[in-house]
Every structure is written in C-alpha cells, then in structure tokens.
C-alpha cells in the first residue's frame, strides 16, 4: 500500500496518508538493517521546517533504534548539512527528513550511506522489505533516543576557513529563504564572512505563509525581484531544504545551466555534467574550455555519474549545483551562492559574460499533468511515434533517450520526460529563433497530447 512513496532518488509522500507511524517505523527498521549490513554504526538524522517533521523523526528513529544503530539528532537544518555530516566523516550515514520544494503536506527522506546516495534499485529493494515487514504483522515500539550533535558549527567553520578571502566583500545581497531552513545557515555564514546580507523570511515555518519555497517557479521569486530592484547587486532564492538556488541580477534570473557556464570559466580544464534540460549553449561553450557530459536528472543520478566520470561540477536547470572541485560533490545552494560571490570578487560581470553567449530562445520547464501510472507509458509511446514518418515534426537530427527523450532538430531541440517526483510530464524547448522554438514546441506538445488522448 506504500509502493508509490519509493521514488527514483528518494522517498516522498503525503504526511499521514503515505508517511505515517506504520510506514515510517517500518522504513526505519528495514533501512537500519540495510545500513548495518553495509557496515554503518552511526547515523545522523536531521529535518526541515515542515510541521510533520517531529512526528516523522520519532517514527524513523524508533525504527533505526530497533535496528540497533547509534542515532544522532542533528536538528533542523538544510539537507546539504546532513550530507556534510557524512562527507566530513562525522557519521557513517545520514537521513534528512524533507519534502524539499514540494507542497507543505508532503515530506520524505533523502538517504546517504557511506557517502553514496541510496536510490534506484536499492530503494525498490527497501520497498519490498518494508511491505514484507508490514505484512508480517510485526510492530516497532516507540524508542525516541537520539544523541544531540552540533554539526552546524563545523559547517559554518568550513566557510569561514575556505572563503576567508571574501571577508568584507561589499556586494549588496538580498536573499529569500522562503520560511525554509536556508536562514539557519545563511545568517551565521554571513556573520562569519562579514557579508552585507538582508534575508527575506529567514524564520523556518512549515506552513510557508509567504510563498511556496520553490525558487525555480517565477511566482515564488516576485518579492525577491522587487527587493533586488531597491538597491541590491545580487539576489538569491532558496527552496525548502536549501539544496536548490535561484540567482538574480537586476537584469535577469540566471538558470542553473548558465550558472554552470559561469562557474566553469573560473575553473581550469573543467569536467562538467549537465542534465537533459540544459541549454545547448552550456554544452558547446564548456567544450571550448573543458569537457561537458549529459546525464539523467536527479541528485542521486548526478552524484553517481560524477563519481564514475570524475566530474568537477554538475548542474540542473532548476538550480541544483554540485561541486566536487574544492567541495564534496553534493548539491548545496548556500555553497553555490558563495561561489557566485567568489566570481564577483574575482571581477566577473555576470550579465556581461552571459550577454556574450550565442542568442538562443528557450522556454522554462512546462508541465503536463498526468498520473503516476501513465507518465512513463507516455514516454515509451512517444519514442515509438517519433520513429514514424507521420509524426508531424520538423526533420529529426538525433534522439537522446538517457532520460525521457531529447529530440534534436536542425534549429533547436525539445525535451519530454516523466518527472520522478510528481505525476507530471516535463517539457522544455530551445531554438535559434522564437519562430523555430514555437514550431518545435507546438509540434511536440501536440504529439504528446495526441498520445495521451488516444493511447493512454
């Protein structure tokens, strides 16, 4: 009954309906058993600002204690600080209780074991174990024991040491924490580095009373834009658990793929991983100074590929940025922000650099609502239709199917993929003119809608 919460790269569902005492205690003991089999002795557990976090923490910890692990409570923190607790060898594993950028009724678990994400086939094996445990009629007793541990101080100390050269930077910065947990780290880091920060909605509030915490959506950065235009040089927006960033200048909102290009210009022979939604500009321009790679969307997929391909940095259009160069290889929006400030300190004019790129026209992500059962069937049906001569599209140059389908045409490309976190089909389009972009967009959307109407 809990099958749908086990996604491609994390566990995610609605509190009480999907994530309740029964399912989460079962997840805790079954996951704890997996951890023990992999040599884990200590596990840190943290959580974001969602109101369901205290109950889910107690349920999860009860299960982990039943598996006889040493459990540490690192408190309310951004997800990347949980990763940091493992990558700096403080703990063998970490679980962050977070709904990320999803609506407030959602929550979930992001799992790291021995510096590797726990995802994909591993999560499906866990799903089977959880279902078997529940079917057996066994129960996990309440056991909320967890040793308090301060990882935040070590995290702030890292910034104070590694970015001491930014102390006193006069750039005027406005941030929007969106009542998520970003403010918990932003404020002490700003103080440690003597930066001129102003933070909108810094106090964590799981009701998210001011706006939804997803800075990749235009609706959620309106107030940040307005504040930026009142005398600030740069604006930064954060999602609920502070692993996704939006970067704004008074002139533009800089997407994750453009950020990757900017960061790469400040690196020597960079090896950069992008996802299927990234602009062709990013791949073409980075290949002039280093080497680019294309991979699957999703933090777990990206971390795995980074290790296999010896990647220095990876990026998603939505604002997840992963640095291995001078960092640990996970996505951390606060770290990404500091690296932007480092670019500015080194004399980079962000707008000027981006203005030099070839002019391309692209859409934001556009989402077509469907359901969990149909979304992957739509993609498979689309692959078949694309190979038929009567598909109604311009001449296809190439089809990249590593994550959905990225369809390359003479003048641009279109992407159609199933979201791994929500019941939607995600599309994006890019071309060398507005007319060509519109032609590609209209043709691909019409084909998808026809499939949904006739075949699914």
From the list 100, 253, 279, 318, the catalytic residue is: 100
Which residue do the tokens 């499939």 mark?
451
Tell me whether residue 406 is one of the annotated catalytic residues. Answer: no
44-to-72, 81, 426 alpha-carbon distances in Å: 5, 10, 34
Classify residue 358 by its DSSP letter.
P
Sheet strand arrangement including 234-238? 196-200, 172-176, 234-238, 245-248, 253-254
DSSP H helices, 38-151, are 53-66, 79-87, 121-135
CA 319 to chain centre: 7
375-to-282, 378, 424 alpha-carbon distances in Å: 28, 5, 7
117-151 burial: b if 16+ Cβ within 10 Å, else e = bbbeebbeebbebbbebbeeeeebeebeebeebeb
> Quick one: which of 284, 263, 266, 282 has its CA closest to 274?
282
Tokens of 265: 């210009």
Q: How far apart are CA 372 and CA 379, in angstroms?
A: 12
SS3 189: helix
**Angle subtended by helix axes 333-345 and 256-264, to nearest 10:** 50
From the list 12, 271, 299, 428, the catalytic residue is: 12
From the list 50, 127, 271, 320, the catalytic residue is: 320
Classify residue 311 by its DSSP letter.
-
CB of 415 closer than 8 Å to CB of 366: no
> Quick one: which of 124, 14, 133, 109 has its CA closest to 57?
109
Calculated CA dihedral for residues 440, 446, 448, 451, nearest 10 degrees: -150
Q: How far apart are CA 360 and CA 274, in angstroms?
A: 17
Tokens of 222: 């309106």
Residues annotated as catalytic (active site), given as ranges: 12, 100, 320
């Amino acid at each position: 009954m809990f099958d749908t919460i086990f996604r491609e790269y994390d566990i995610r569902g609605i509190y009480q309906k999907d994530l309740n005492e029964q399912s989460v205690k079962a997840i805790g003991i079954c996951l704890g058993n997996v951890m023990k089999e992999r040599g884990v002795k200590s596990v840190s557990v943290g959580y974001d600002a969602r109101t369901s976090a205290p109950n889910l923490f107690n349920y999860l910890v009860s299960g982990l204690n039943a598996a006889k692990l040493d459990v540490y409570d690192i408190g309310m923190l951004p997800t990347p600080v949980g990763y940091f607790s493992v990558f700096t060898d403080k703990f063998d594993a970490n679980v962050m209780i977070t709904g990320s950028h999803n609506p407030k009724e959602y929550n979930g678990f992001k799992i790291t074991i021995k510096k590797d994400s726990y995802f994909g086939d591993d999560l499906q094996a866990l799903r089977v174990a959880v279902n078997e445990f529940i079917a057996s009629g066994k129960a996990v007793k309440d056991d909320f024991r967890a040793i308090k541990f301060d990882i935040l101080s070590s995290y702030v100390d890292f910034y104070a040491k590694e970015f001491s050269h930014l102390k006193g930077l006069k750039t005027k910065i406005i941030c929007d924490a969106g009542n998520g947990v970003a403010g918990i780290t932003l404020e002490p880091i700003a103080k440690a580095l003597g930066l001129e920060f102003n933070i909108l909605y810094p106090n964590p509030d799981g009701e998210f009373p001011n706006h939804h915490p997803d800075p990749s959506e235009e609706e959620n950065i309106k107030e940040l834009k307005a504040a930026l235009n009142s005398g600030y040089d740069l604006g930064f927006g954060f999602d609920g658990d502070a692993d996704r960033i939006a970067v704004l200048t008074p002139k533009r909102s800089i997407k994750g793929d453009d950020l990757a290009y900017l960061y790469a210009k400040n690196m020597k022979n960079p090896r950069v991983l992008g996802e299927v939604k990234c602009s062709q500009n990013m791949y073409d321009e980075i290949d002039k100074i280093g080497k680019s790679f294309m991979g699957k969307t999703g933090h777990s997929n990206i971390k795995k590929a980074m290790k296999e391909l010896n990647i220095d940095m990876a990026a998603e259009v939505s604002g997840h940025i992963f640095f291995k160069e001078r960092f640990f290889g996970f996505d951390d929006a606060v770290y990404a922000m500091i690296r932007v400030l480092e670019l500015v300190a080194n004399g980079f004019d962000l707008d000027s650099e981006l203005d030099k790129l070839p002019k391309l026209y692209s859409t934001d992500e556009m989402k077509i609502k469907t359901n969990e059962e149909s979304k992957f069937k739509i993609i498979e049906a689309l692959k078949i239709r694309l190979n038929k001569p009567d598909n109604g599209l311009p001449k296809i140059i190439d089809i990249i199917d590593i994550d959905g389908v990225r369809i390359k045409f003479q003048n641009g490309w279109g992407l159609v993929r199933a979201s791994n976190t929500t019941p939607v089909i995600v599309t994006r389009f890019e071309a060398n003119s507005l007319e060509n972009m519109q032609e590609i967009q209209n043709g691909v959307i019409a084909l998808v809608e026809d499939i949904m109407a006739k075949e699914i």
